[in-house]
Structure 1
């Protein structure tokens, strides 16, 4: 089996495929911004900016830049910790959470349609393989 050829085929096909509709609206956000909003929505709605850098494996300057952008969009608020003024606490706003939840619902809907088109057997196999890839990646960490 030529795994390199398969890997090349997969990458080539993935780069040729058009973006799904839900990705177009989210393209206004950087990858760092998306990850920060996801963390604030699904894990903790208020965190120290340093925790974002640590948990999301983003550099401090990248987090600062993303937070500036998200703040201008009204998706987050930043406030000083009441006990330690050196620490900045980042909180997702209702607008930010609503944006993420709307995008999440749209992504789920589009994926559901794609999985239906695959059919039950292929859809289950696809999810199984993705889960296996995640498992393998976790073993490498």
Structure 2
């Protein structure tokens, strides 16, 4: 139910949760399209490799992207077929595989990052300076509070 139509008896927290859930539900379709567009993690792998600018072990990618080694292996296979990464055996330790981004992969990562930046520029321009500053302030506060109440953080939300 829209924020404005909530019953007056609901607290502002209940109203905020309802509004947030509504926003997320309406945005879910767009988010899923964006996930599919990003080929379910390929761009994250390419961006990481482009920033590192060196050979990387798949286990490092797994840790950095917080993804299973099986997921990383599938991503690397897809990227290798597209010619965007190369996997080679480590000459100093033949049990290791080293992953390197290709020029084609670097070009894709740069193009996608440029497109994302351009989209953000358009969004912030449409929002205007005051709303953008407020959005950043509130997003930072929300993120800090999410960290504070994370189950991993001491003093976080009690389990059960």
TM-score bracket, normalised by the shorter chain, equals 0.7 to 0.9
Please state if 1:16 is matched with 2:26.
yes
CA gap 1:120/1:45 in 2 versus in 1, 3 angstroms: same
Gaps of 5+ in 1: none
Is 1:29 matched up with 2:33? no
Report the structure number with the largest CA radius of gyration: 2
Deviation of 1:119 after TM superposition, in Å, equals: 0.9
Shift of 1:137: 4.1
Report the TM-score, using the length of structure 1 for normalisation: 0.82
Alpha-carbon deviations, 1:65-122, whole Å to 9, x = none?
1100011111111011110011111111111111111111111111111111111110
- Is 1:76 aligned to 2:85, yes or no? yes
More relative contact order, 1 or 2 (CA 8 Å, 6+ apart): 1
For structure 2, the 5+ residue unaligned runs are 1-10, 153-160
Give the 3-state SS of the residue equivalent to 2:86 in structure 1: strand
Q: 1:106 to 1:138 in 2, by over 3 A?
A: same
Instruction: Figure out how many residues of one structure are paired with residues of the other and give that number.
Output: 138
Task: After superposition, give the CA deviation of every residue in 1:111-140 in whole Å (9 maximum; x if it has no partner).
Answer: 111111111110111122223333344443
Q: Tell me how far 1:4 sits from its aligned partner.
A: 4.4
Q: Give the TM-score, by structure 2 length.
A: 0.73
